[in-house]
A and B are shown apart, each in its own frame.
Chain A
Amino acid sequence: MTILILKRIALGILTLLLVSALIFAGTQLLPGDVASAILGQNATPESLTVLRTDLGLDQPLLHRYFAWLGGFAFYAAVISVPVAVLLGLLSAIWRGTVFDRAVNIAALAFVSLPEYFLGLLLILFVSVQYNLLPSLADTYPGMSMGDWLKATTLPALTLVLVTVAQMLRMTRTAVLAVMDQAYVETAYLKGLRTKRAVLRHALPNAAAPIVNVVSFNIAYLITGVVLVEAVFNYNGLGRFMVDAVSKRDLPLVQAAALVFGTAYVILNIIADVTAIALNPRLRHAR
């Protein structure tokens, strides 16, 4: 087990190296140069270096990253993962009912809308028409928890709506696949109630694909929120990165991209390891 985990970590590091090579190659393709983008007509690379050191731009990155990890992406994950798994389970149990269909249609409808459009729709109705929640995710140090929740609810809701669908569908499919197996039928025939048959017998065997899709979606939450950040003017790493791109601050772009890559790789490792832990068959190499 330990060796397996170490192996996965080694592979993860290798992946990151490859990612960094790609990032480097990609950023070299950007047109224009840093100096003229930042300082305009009278720019020199020297003054750019001075400018960046003056601003201490390398420092806030990590700080910002952690501040932002705890931001609305986390807020969204906390809501969307349990909601999706629960809805997925329920729609598997009540397969074919009105509930199942309604949940599936709604989920598919939301996932079909691009997140920025969904965000704008939410703003139009929730903020502009009924003035329930603010359209700006205007967060600042020292604001109260209540204010913070109010400010970030709309962006988090947008993310919840777009990520729930996939997790829900995957949970439903995985659980249903297992429910059709003979042993689940046996469990029912033994007289077990649905709750016990699903939670004790079906779910553990369906867990691996669910964990996978959950980790994939959390990774998406972390990396894919750039558009949502723009719509709600949230000050996140995505916006920081976009700024860096337009200013041709390549080291920053590379650093931000690497942070995104790391988040992806780590989440994937966690998913793999969890799947292995949940499934004894994977623990022993054949």
Chain B
Amino acid sequence: MTHSPSSFSLDRRSFLIGAAGLTALSAGFITNASAQDAQTPKKGGVLKLGIGGGSTTDNLDPRILKDWVPVNQAFMIMNGLVEIDANNHAVPELLESWEAQPGAKEWVFKLRQGVTFHNGKALTVEDVIYSINLHRGETTSAARSIASALKSVEKVSDSEIKIVLESGNADLPYILSDYHFLVVPEGWTDFNKPVGTGPFVFESYDPGVRSRFTRNPNYWKPNAAHVDAVEVIVINDIAARTNAMMSGQVHAINQLDFKTVDLLRRNPNLNIVQSAGGQHFTFLMDCTQAPYKDNNVRLAIKHAIDREQLLKTALRGYGRLGNDHPIPSSDRFYAADLPQRPYDPEKSRFYLKQAGLDTLKVEISASDAAFSGAVDAAAIFRTSAAKSGIDVSIKREPADGYWDNVWMKAPFCMSYWGGRPTADQMLTIAYQSTSAQNDTHWKNETFDKKLIEARALLDDAKRKEIYAELQALISNEGGAMIPMFGDYLDATSKKLKGVTTHPMFNFMGARLAEKVWLDA
């Protein structure tokens, strides 16, 4: 219920920011979206949101944010440093502009002026530095590992901050868009009721149940925060959430069930918002364990899955094919020239022979904790792999405790990754040999070296070249079979205007509340 396996919760693995890249072309679509959305925003009304992914233990501490409800609420109260826009570009939020020295190691950020907190205090450089430092050094912050790339964060003047990195990284603004980097006043410690510079202020807050925030009359962002108040009703159960939408009790819900989207689509009073992003589903092979030690076995398995069928069945088509690497087609560094790996039982048999095998017996650990439909996906894999002489047995694991007991421990198991704003982050967290979350235990020196090299380059063309190589390397040698990417799915009432797709997460990158308006 709470952690319904049918939700792609951020929970447990402290997902950073989702969904790498999106170009305008592949930016998904809103069904039945009308041109009216371009109208001038209307003021007023109470926005009601039914959001899944909350718990009675939630609070709004930027250090421990990890699930959809608190993340959305945090963006109602507070602002981030940098925002990712609908086209997956880093755009200014509280940091107004930035500039990097060659080598991308030293950066200077300009602070937006004239912004005040809800308690009337003016936003200063010190507040921003304090807020960044919440995630640095000895801290329980989930963003600690990303923040560890920052060597120093210093005040240059009343409007400028200098950040020096441990090593060059051209993606720093994207890194600072992570939803943990929210800004509170210097010295602030009460995270049950943080003060922010955000579009709404607290009226009532009952964690995991419901909350009501009213409009901040002094909000600095132009053309934002249109509604008078936002009510967030936490609805973790997917059926209850869908019912609330169908009966018109809320204006929007997040995380639709792939299996029922087509039914929901028939309702004339609502729109389905489908956003392509970096969320992908993985079959993880442990590269240190037999038989997966042998890359021929890994390639045999990668050719033994019918991706088209999997996408059609498990996601009802609401996604895109994967090519055994984690970078989505919408990312600016996507390797478009890398041929799509087909379902090819012949080739699969060939690789088995290379490995000195006629047939292969494997056991895959599966649970819907990995993603909604993971067990079905394993069954589809079982059927398609049989044609290659691979006998797959499915070990059903309990959803409860899956991330503790199975993930990174079972030699062959199912999992997923939420997307990341940059290719570098995605490749680093899951494939660099030293990462604590290198969940295929794959180690490749060339990969590690080139990854670090590409990170510091400010020349995008050259970076693209290297990232293409890295994607090919993972695809051809890595331990993850990545058959598909899943879209982010929300439903919104036709009365709700200003809704767009967004490459990061559901609900317009968790900033829906400040962007939409109600058209009575």
Contacts and interface: CB of A to CB of B under 8 A. Distances in A.
Interface of A: 30-33, 36-44, 47, 51-52, 54-55, 57, 120, 123, 127-128, 131, 134-136, 138, 140-141, 226, 230-233, 235, 239-240, 242-247, 249
Given A37-B12, A136-B235, A246-B400, A55 B59 contact: yes
A41 B437 CA distance: 10
Contacts of A231: 237, 239-240
A136 B209 contact: no
Nearest to A140: B210
Contacts of A39: 64, 140, 142
Interface string B1-44: 11100000001111000000000000000000000000000000
Nearest to B54: A243
* B: interface residue count bin: 35 or more
A31 B57 contact: no
B244 interface: yes
Contact of A42 (B2, B59, B141, B210): B141
A123 B243 contact: yes
A33 B401 CA distance: 8
Given A30-B401, A123-B247, A235-B208, 16 more contacts: A32-B401, A36-B12, A40-B14, A41-B436, A42-B144, A52-B57, A55-B59, A127-B246, A127-B247, A135-B249, A230-B236, A233-B234, A233-B235, A233-B240, A235-B206, A244-B56
B17 to A, nearest CB: 15
26 contacts: A31-B400, A36-B12, A37-B12, A41-B142, A41-B437, A42-B140, A42-B141, A43-B140, A52-B57, A54-B59, A57-B57, A120-B243, A128-B247, A134-B249, A135-B244, A135-B246, A135-B249, A141-B204, A230-B236, A233-B234, A233-B237, A233-B240, A235-B206, A235-B208, A235-B210, A246-B3
B210 A138 contact: yes
Contacts of B142: 39-42
A190 B315 CA distance: 75
A135 B253 CA distance: 14
A18 B127 CA distance: 54
Interface of B: 1-3, 11-14, 50, 55-57, 59, 64, 66, 139-142, 144-145, 191-192, 204, 206-210, 233-237, 239-241, 243-244, 246-250, 398, 400-401, 403-405, 436-437
Nearest to B405: A31
B248 A55 contact: no
A138 B249 contact: yes
A40 B436 CA distance: 13
Nearest to B207: A55
A245 B11 CA distance: 15
A239 B246 CA distance: 23
B2 A38 contact: no
B239 A120 contact: yes
Given A51-B64, A134-B249, A41 B14 contact: yes
Contacts of A41: 13-14, 142, 145, 436-437
Contacts of A242: 1-2
B405 A233 contact: no
B243 A40 contact: no
Contact of A134 (B55, B235, B247, B437): B247
B210 to A, nearest CB: 6
A123 B57 CA distance: 29
A217 to B, nearest CB: 23
Contacts of A230: 1, 236-237, 240
Contacts of B236: 230, 233
B405 A246 contact: no
A233 B242 CA distance: 11
A31 B404 contact: yes
A31 B234 CA distance: 26
Contacts of A235: 206, 208-210
Contacts of B247: 123, 127-128, 131, 134-136
Given A54-B59, A136-B235, A230-B1, A40 B249 contact: no
A42, A51, A141, A240 pick with most chain B CB within 10 angstroms:
A42
A130 B436 CA distance: 53
A166 B139 CA distance: 56
A143 B236 CA distance: 23
Nearest to B211: A140
A239, A240, A245, A249 pick with most chain B CB within 10 angstroms:
A239
A9 to B, nearest CB: 33
B140 A47 contact: yes
